Structure 1
């Protein structure tokens, strides 16, 4: 598929949004980056990650507590991805470029590749959200059907029941399969990767080997194969499911759209900002615990419209965006509670599994 083109509007909705958000930061005197609050959260999450790793590998507790710690360890992995890596990759963690790069680099320690993530997430997903054939996030074929434009197979009518198994496998597949597919194909879906430098290749392979040593080799040596396998599966499956469900609730629910460009012109009906609002949803916006843990990704609308703004500002700017949407008669999709969004996602999967 050729790269889609968004509609050009002289006095666009997006320009009005940017003007109002800029006024907010000017009037409040706040910086758009994370600041001290996010730095303290990062120290807490990284400390929890290091403590859990050391305690599980070198001071392994009894079975019950080891399982509990593996779940907490999984939570710290997901939270580092949501809060530190994600903001850093978008350049919103800090006003200092090197701090953002360091925050984004946390993905390497967790087994992923920030190079592949930047292309998949920052470049493609944020520009062409929910466009089948471009957005790699909705390409789980043939196992799941995430858009009416994708082929339907008989087993898809059960995807609303088995989805959690595939979601739980995301983290393991990400580390050991998906990154390597992108690396060797030099593509993310239909989009070519930018050329990798020698340094990029070195980082990719070096940190993949480091992950194998830290999360497979050393733990097996310290606790034995069976204990490692049980702990590794609990940790990666829990982390995988948490990461998957948070991202899926943002775009694959009943009320989000999956627009396709005109077959001849390659143009989309909407300007970019309105496209983002039609393809994105918020959930549990007033739940501070969820907001803290998922790094504001429950305010996915705000994130997609202003990815360079740190998530700590999303609750405040959401009021401005919601008001602007109401004035311009633009949809603003929001689920009051996370359980509502989960129910809508399950219903969406059921529809996609049965619809023509």
Structure 2
């Protein structure tokens, strides 16, 4: 398909980049992660290893096992937010090999870093909230996520059943969507970039390893029923946490869903302003949430500067907010996470009932 074209850049983003560069030069700090981020990554990865070893090899009592499965799902999501996400954007470390190592945690967790890189970095970040291009919006026919998607009668209740579908994200991701992209050579309607021999071997090698780690070995040690219950619990928790955090960034009442001109295929705004209109922050003053979700509550900052590590977003947000005020541009934010969740539910209800 022909991809939409943005309006020519003006002065806003150039000035914003100038001020951001000046900040890092004055502070004398790198734009990548720091020792605090590395320490957090170590804590999260070791926590996941400890939980896995205890569940698989020590068979705790049922109540404790279920609790640990819930924690495992949460830690999987937190590793995705804090380690994989920064690594995939090249912002985890100033060392390329460490960025790749961080990005490859997704392969260990069951996904594909190759598919994620193209889907997230090349498509979603460029064409945010554009129907037919941004694959993150495609949950059809189960949910209607934009005004331009076809509405089915069941969508009237999507604000009630969304939690179940969100819980299925992780399972669908590792068992269906990665393979769908691999064999169709597409991410939604966008052609997938060519894969090298190394990419093919990495894809299939880690998929085989995942079957051993997450299916064969646990079944051997705890039995099929114990594995099935534990896997469904941890995978559902991981799926819901991953889904809700990413959805709060772009599918709420404040965000826009721009449509290219039907003849010229051009968008009204330049890329940076497009990001402002299609993205929203939430709970940026909550340090606990910011630590857990890897700064993804600062989505405006992340979309404008995806190659800057999330550890710098609190300071960066002040620069962006002030620049937006001076240029008369929107800076969309929900002060509390519960307000963003409520707005997302209201958005789903609106999409389900709209003609």
TM-score where L is the length of structure 2:
0.99
Quote the residue 1:41 is aligned against: 40
**Equivalenced residues, count:** 355
Q: For 1:64-99, what per-residue CA distance to the aligned partner results, in whole angstroms no more than 9, with x for missing partners?
A: 111111111111100110000000000000001111
Residue 2 of structure 1 corresponds to 2
| Counterpart Cα distance in 2 of 1:149 and 1:319 | 34
**Which residue matches 2:252?**
253
2:58 is matched with which residue? 59
Q: How does 1:88-167 map to 2 (within 5 A)?
A: 88-167=87-166
Aligned equivalents of 1:327, 1:46: Cα separation in 2: 42
Q: C-alpha separation between the residues in 2 aligned to 1:331 and 1:137?
A: 23
Q: Return the offset for 1:199.
A: 1.1
Structure 1: gaps (5+ residues): none
CA distance, structure 2, for counterparts of residue 145 and residue 103 of structure 1: 33
Q: How does 1:164-313 map to 2 (within 5 A)?
A: 164-313=163-312
Give distance in 2, aligned partners of 1:24 and 1:325.
17
Match of 1:348 in 2: 347
Question: 1:330 aligns to what?
Answer: 329
> SS of the counterpart of 1:267?
coil
C-alpha deviations, 1:295-353, integer Å up to 9, x for none?
00000000000000000000111011001111111011100000000000000000000
- Cα distance in structure 2, aligned partners of 1:316 and 1:18: 14
State how far apart, in whole Å, the 1-side matches of 2:162 and 2:312 are: 32
The offset of 1:38, in angstroms, is 0.7
Alpha-carbon distance in structure 2 between the residues aligned to 1:193 and 1:12: 33
List per-residue Cα deviations over 1:260-294 (Å, max 9, x = no partner). 11011111000100000000000000111110000
User: What is the CA-CA distance between 1:35 and the residue it aligns to?
Assistant: 1.5
Segments of 5+ residues of structure 2 without an aligned counterpart are none
Deviation at 1:12, TM superposition (A): 2.3
Distance 1:60 1:76 in 2: 19
Aligned alpha-carbon RMSD (Å): 0.6
Is structure 2 residue 81 aligned with structure 1 residue 82? yes
Cα distance between partner residues in 2 of 1:12 and 1:179: 39
SS in 2 for 1:145: coil
d(CA) in 2 for partners of 1:40 and 1:57?
26
**Equivalent-residue separation in structure 1 for 2:134 and 2:354 (angstroms):** 21
Measure how far apart 1:237 and its partner are. 0.2
2:281 aligned counterpart, secondary structure: strand
The residue that corresponds to 1:22 in the other structure is: 21
